[in-house]
């Protein structure tokens, strides 16, 4: 008769060993992230200052700053936001509520799922050939924003679809029973309830867009930008203009890339400081999204 207690003990020992291995492996990633952040802080935080935030880049690393970079990021992201969210929500609503189960719908869904896996630099190539040269829009904030919008569109679509899908059918049926049309159900019932999911998806999409470098380099966002795009508001009528959309620009990740590529150590300090600003923004935004997701799951009790 096999000694069953020995077998059981061996089994438990194996489990205990794997528990330790599992935790260690999980910590590999997390500890590396922590080391990365600490390394950035050690290299870059001396450089963080008001002067750094409000100066243009310069040939002398001590004088250089990220003013044009973060203004550029803000402008590009606002174009991305204004484009990706309406189109993404509209597409998701169509796919969830209107689309019949035919080959056109399948084609659209396959496309969205494929586009989510296309490397970001290819979006840059498409924008270069199509928007910059074919449509003659130039290497501008507008093209940069549109490229990033197309890049993050699948994220917004998937998040919105999940949000709409989680609304129970009884809400829809009650609205239809009261005589609402399809659009009335969507506009007055489904979209308000899915706002939380849409917001979370949008935030994650923007966080991704802020960190994207490759597509913007490809469309020709410059790296040495000692100027700001013209401001959208002005003191003469009509008080707002769209000049800024056609201007050359740079963004935070490109500025960081430019400084990292230089051999001088002082530029690496600048790069580290820029990295800190970038990480701060992306982690803060992701934190907000996670908190929102938690709050929504708590509040919605169907």
Partner 1 sequence: MSNPLPAKIKRLRKRTAASNRQRMWRDVRERGIEGLLFMAAALSVLVTVGIVGVLLYESAQFFRHVSVVEFLTGTVWTPSFANPKFGILPLVSGTLLTTGVALAVALPVGTVVAIYLSEFAPFAVRELLKPMLELLSAVPTVVYGYFAIGFVAPMLQQVIPDLPTFSVLSAGLVMGIMIIPYVSSLSEDAMRSVPMLLREGSYALGANKIRTALGVVFPSALSGIGAAYILGVSRAIGETMIVAIAAGMQPKLTANPTEPAATMTAFIVQVSLGDAAHGSVEYQSIFATGLMLFLMTLTFNILGYILRRRFHQAY
Instruction: Give me the residue label for tokens 């590999």.
Output: 28
Smallest gap from residue 64 Cβ to partner 1 (A): 16
Smallest gap from residue 97 Cβ to partner 1 (A): 8
* Cβ(97)–Cβ(186) below 8 Å: yes
**Taking the alpha carbons of 45, 209, 110, 128 in that order, is the dihedral positive or negative?**
negative
Q: CB-wise, 16 or 242, nearer to partner 1?
A: 16
Q: CB-wise, 232 or 248, nearer to partner 1?
A: 248
- CB neighbourhood size of 19 (10 A): 10
Smallest gap from residue 33 Cβ to partner 1 (A): 6
Q: 238 preceded by cis ω (within 30°)?
A: yes
Q: CB-wise, 172 or 268, nearer to partner 1?
A: 268
* Cβ(223)–Cβ(97) below 8 Å: no
Q: CB-wise, 165 or 234, nearer to partner 1?
A: 165
Q: CB-wise, 62 or 262, nearer to partner 1?
A: 262
Give the span between the Cα atoms of 39 and 77, in whole angstroms: 28
Cα→Cα distances 101→76, 98, 106, 107, Å: 37, 10, 7, 11
**Taking the alpha carbons of 97, 102, 108, 112 in that order, is the dihedral positive or negative?**
positive
Smallest gap from residue 301 Cβ to partner 1 (A): 20
Give the span between the Cα atoms of 141 and 121, in whole angstroms: 17
- CB neighbourhood size of 25 (10 A): 9
Q: CB-wise, 28 or 237, nearer to partner 1?
A: 28
The DSSP letter of residue 230 is: P
What is the torsion angle, in degrees rounded to the nearest 10, for the CA atoms of residue 198, residue 204, residue 207 and residue 212?
A: -110
The DSSP letter of residue 95 is: I
Smallest gap from residue 199 Cβ to partner 1 (A): 17
Smallest gap from residue 230 Cβ to partner 1 (A): 25
Smallest gap from residue 30 Cβ to partner 1 (A): 5
Q: CB-wise, 233 or 265, nearer to partner 1?
A: 265
Q: What is the distance, to the nearest Å, from the Cα of residue 251 to the centroid of all Cα atoms in its chain? A: 14
């Amino acid at each position: 008769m096999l000694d069953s207690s020995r077998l059981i003990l061996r089994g438990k020992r194996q489990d205990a060993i794997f528990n330790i291995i599992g935790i260690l492996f999980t910590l590999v990633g997390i500890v590396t992230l922590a080391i990365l952040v600490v390394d950035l802080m050690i290299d870059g935080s001396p450089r963080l200052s008001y002067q750094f935030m409000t100066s243009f880049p310069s040939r002398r690393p001590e004088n250089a700053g990220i003013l044009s970079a973060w203004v550029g990021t803000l402008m590009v992201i606002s174009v991305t936001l204004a484009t990706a969210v309406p189109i993404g929500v509209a597409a998701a609503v169509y796919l969830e509520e209107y689309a019949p189960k035919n080959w056109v719908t399948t084609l659209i869904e396959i496309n969205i799922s494929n586009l989510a896996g296309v490397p970001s630099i290819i979006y840059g190539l498409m924008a270069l050939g199509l928007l910059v040269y074919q449509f003659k829009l130039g290497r501008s904030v507008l093209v940069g924003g549109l490229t990033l919008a197309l890049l993050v569109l699948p994220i917004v679509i998937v998040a919105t679809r999940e949000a709409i899908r989680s609304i129970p059918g009884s809400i829809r049926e009650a609205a239809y029973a009261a005589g609402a049309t399809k659009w009335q159900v969507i506009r007055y019932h489904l979209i308000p309830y899915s706002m939380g999911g849409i917001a979370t998806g949008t935030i994650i999409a923007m966080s991704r867009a802020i960190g994207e470098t490759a597509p913007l380099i490809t469309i020709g966002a410059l790296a040495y930008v000692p100027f700001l795009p013209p401001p959208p508001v002005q003191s003469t009528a009509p008080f707002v203009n769209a000049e800024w959309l056609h201007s050359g620009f740079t963004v935070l990740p490109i500025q960081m890339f430019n400084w990292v590529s230089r051999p001088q150590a002082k530029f690496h300090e600048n790069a580290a400081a820029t990295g800190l600003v970038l990480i701060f923004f992306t982690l803060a935004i992701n934190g907000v999204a996670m908190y929102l997701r938690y709050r929504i799951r708590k509040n919605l009790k169907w």
